[in-house]
Chains A and B, each alone.
Chain A
């Protein structure tokens, strides 16, 4: 099992995103991508649902709440809600299976930014 990303499944995939491994269910933006952009993938086209910044993730296909997100063949967390192809995957719908993710709230305080913390608040 390779540890490093490998774009071996990239044939036929739009160069504005990286498909790091053939079985990954997310794509990585190589540049800022505007909402509404159509990306050609080997299995057809998807439409990017929100503006996505460089280095951020996009759902490659429809996913269900509870599904694991695979990046480089490794699990990077679980989805907290259903996701359509082309949706931005980040703190609002993806959470760690290990530790809460702390972000800076207004005023510079560290807060638990994971979806379950927001839902229970």
Chain B
């Protein structure tokens, strides 16, 4: 039997590697709009992973991911406006990460040490998104209010070798295609480390973990901070790629969309969350272009259908299928070889 810690499809990493490799060839095949827009979907995928970590591994649902994403995006926007030249982009990323991480760390620390859980946590994080949105609207001297902020594309400063501007869509595409896999594989390794196991323990039985001597609220805060950092970097890169940041990035609608992506993609798998973010945001974009009135309704139906058939989303359906096949093949084998003791789990 498989270890439940992994709580993913066996070979998920291999699948991810193949997908990323295929994406690397894409600009050779097609150009134009897809190459422009795909990096933004991938960054939405990274945002979805930031929620996947929380939902899948710690068992907490946050509607605050949009807040962290937006604050990361504004961080990048403001740094880019400061006119720091080639290094501005790096600084923007650092600012975005720090902004997302600190907001999450502060909110998380107070919420978790106060024992705020489940529904109440959802409500507070939803409020967090609304607060960030309102701040973005009201502090128009800094944020540009409803008009938003225009953000230049960053450049890759290489010191003495000069700068590589990412103004071209293909260069930008590859930059994002380097960052998102790093985030995915890094996060994947983290979930399989001792830290990831402890998070699963907390998800499964918080009281038991406390009685075993684990400082549960500290671990939850750390996971939340990490999730905020991830959402922050996704937001920062999104800002410089899309070229525009507005208060709606922190809004209730966007917050809810992130939750829907992860629910559809599968909260128990990082790749599921990533794919959910990419596919559902792409689908939303497509549906809204063909039917501006009804696309949200259509998306709602898709959401309900997926959850009806697989509570753990698309990745959950795949995992159940793979599980079924391996159980079936084991049964076949057991029938042919009467009994063989499995010594190791």
Q: Do A and B bind each other?
A: no
Residues of B within 8 A of A (CB): none
